[in-house]
Amino acid sequence: MIELFAEERKIPLKKSRDLFFGAARFDHHAIRVAIPDTYMNESGRAISALRDTSPFEPEELVVVHDDMDLPAGQLRFKKGGRDGGHKGVRSVIGAMRTDAFWRLKLGIGRPPAPTDDVGYVLEKIPANERRDLAEMVERAVQAIDCFVVQGPEAAMNRYHQRPAAPGTDPLT
């Protein structure tokens, strides 16, 4: 998702230690984009590398991650809170020494029984679900745009609703 955001915003990414990162101005806002080059469970290493390169405050960080507790396709911004069992978020909290950063959660729903959680997250996405995933990713890119330009409250008001049924316009 972050790769698409960077590509669409023409933000060049450079490799550094445990991440790919880039910086640009977007609609008069200075932003930095980072993509961990670690295992998901070690995302905090990439955040530490980013802070070493360019310090920032916790509330300036938006971590984008999957969330099985949200229905598939739903987006949710949240500031602070526990890791919810997500080991990547746990790693970021440890590296930041605080949970006071923003998250954009991408709903993937719970796996059907008897599939285990790890297998569900790591398995190949079925062909019949790829279009829905691509649409969620595009909405997530738009949600980050809104977050940067209009602020967290506007992004939450616009993107927290469940995805619209196929063939309907969620803004009407």
* Per-residue model confidence as pLDDT tens digits over 22-63: 999 888 888 999 999 988 889 999 999 989 888 899 999 999
Q: Which residue has the higher pLDDT, 141 or 120?
A: 141
Class of CATH domain 2-159: alpha beta
Percent of the chain whose pLDDT exceeds 70: 86
Helix (H, G, I), strand (E, B) or coil at 91: helix
Whether pLDDT at 66 is above 60? yes
CA atoms of 121 and 110, how far apart (whole Å): 9
| pTM of the predicted model as reported, rounded to 2 decimal places | 0.84
What angle is formed at CA 131 by the lines to CA 106 and CA 108, rounded to 5 degrees? 25
Retrieve residue 70's tokens. 């949200």
- Average pLDDT along the chain: 86
